[in-house]
Structure 1
Amino acid sequence: MNFDHAIDLDREPHGSSDDPGLLDFSANTNPEVPEGVEDVYREAFAESRTYPAEPPAAFREAAAEYVDCDPDAVVPTPGGLAAIRATIALAVGPGDSALVPAPSFGEYPREVRLQGGEPSFVPDESVLEADPSDHALAVVCAPNNPTGADYDRGALERFAVRCRSADTPLLVDEAFRGFTDRPSIAGAEGVVVARSLTKLFGLPGIRAGFAVATGEFGAALRRARRPWNVSAPALSTGAYCMRREEFIRATRDRVRSERSRMREALAERYEVTPSEAPFLLLDVGESGRSVARIVADARDRGIAIRDATTFRGLDSHVRVAVRRPAENDRLLAALGVEDASTDATGDDDV
């Protein structure tokens, strides 16, 4: 048996530092978690002694409330990437083309190629203007990673209509949408939404997420889902987190305020892309230092930032997360800028 086709599909580096001595701005997970979540996780031990309910109705109901859709349209998955993989595996076959934004999450083209398909790249800012005809799948990341740009709701809905007319499923990755107060497109006909609980709730190791899809494609996703594909602790913890409305509001407010403050400070030295996500993309080309040097210098100061040149089409960029005020001040100092307006006192646990 020949596995060469898999060997050629090296996974692109993801954000996240494995060095516990570094303050991690390379990943985009919330540095805070909802109060009480550890107790919920521990209490799930008793549930772990038996198989989870199948289908997991409580989780589906919480997810449906979270994104405002029908619970029957929710397909629980072990993380957002599992929802993306399941969708691409159903939609794309050998020789098929998939419309993929660039720069964007490197897993989209990788998963397309794993199915024997070929990604057809289109600039992320104009993906909604592309023709979905003759593609087996169209992908949109909203907000987009790594740019942080989001899309006008009306334009996204019109693109979804064109995809339906072309009989092309539309996958909308909403991994970072929870950081915004913008509504989900979950439940729209012909659209598959992928959601992750990793980012907003600061729990990447839980591996909980879900897809939302209706119609024949939604039925196919539900049939393809393995029974008990999400653990009892993940189901309980995920359902609890999605109902922490005050935590969600506070997180959105903090990210919005800090992102604005950071962008203003960073713009003194770097070109900063406007963002609706919990991160900022910086073009460092005019700074007089290379990406490698900036990443290394930040690391020497105890800060991990993302080398964004691994994203297609970016050759002079880094990406930095938006964390808590005192932590963000450390990042600004490591990148050679200061924010005189900040009143952070260092009370954050850094």
Structure 2
Amino acid sequence: MPVFAFEQPHDRAGRFVNLDGSRPVGLATVLRWAVWDRLTGKRRRAPERGSVLTVAADRARLARPPAEGEPARLTWLGHASFLVQLDGVSLLVDPALRPAIFGGIVRNVPPGVPLEDLPPIDAQLVTHNHYDHLDLPTLRSVGAPVVAGLGLARWLEARGLPATELGWWRSTRVGAVRVTFVPAHHWSRRGPLDTNATLWGGFVVEGSTATVYHSGDSAYFAGFREIGERFPGIDAALLPIGAYDPGWFMLRQHMDPEQALQAFEDLGARAFVAMHWGTFKLADEPLDEPPRRVEAERVRRGLPPERVRVLAVGETLEVARPLAVREPATPR
């Protein structure tokens, strides 16, 4: 495995680490949750399926991305997968659109837009290499270039996909849109020997009328405040609300709904958009529990309902910053 010589935090072996220097939980911890706690009856029991609202996407509308100056469009495809359209560009973020992912984990609901009905895609943004975020068959079916974290370009290109890799706070352009890779508190692994060999993170997508942040997978961490400071006026923050139970294990790598709303406030974003729930059964909570906790926390914090959105799978949300504060994206 190559040792990366750059400014990203890494250990002596060249493996990436989080901003605070932490590494992922070890195999013994995973086995305690997956095997021992199940055998001893300590794991919470919940159905493998759950109730998730779906709507038919307006495919004719999605066929043409908004022009420069028009509001951006966000369409939830399920789990962490979004179609983000702005300034004449269509981006897929973490597309995993097949009936099941690696390991035989089956979808609870179909994708918001089937693969064959997607509009032409300009780029695919991959936050990290876990199978529910980097689904290679989906990426190949779409065929568009990929933007991902450091260490993934060679892997993707060897599998026939043109790729650009970025370190944290580094940017690239897709048409008129600027895409910046930003930190997350998580980890990476595709196989038994490549733990943390590739970089994980989130994306900030900046266009003429909106700035959209997609966190990828992340535990709650101080980095949300720094992202908000570096990108003031985020118009929509796409944040995960599922896969949090049991907390002693899952909250080292994911957020619960209450933490997600705290991250939203740390970011200083205008709108919260929920993701990473209801599609794949990855943890012990019921699939349809996260939005109920989001709503309770919204009320407790006194946030207006129009600022906290839990979309239906297939639903499209238009976002745009107020006219008085619009400025064109400028190079950093």
Report the TM-score when normalising by structure 2.
Answer: 0.30
Report the TM-score when normalising by structure 1.
Answer: 0.29
Report the structure, 1 or 2, having the larger helix content.
Answer: 1
Question: Structure with the greater relative contact order (CA < 8 A, sep ≥ 6): 1 or 2?
Answer: 1
Structure having the higher Rg: 1
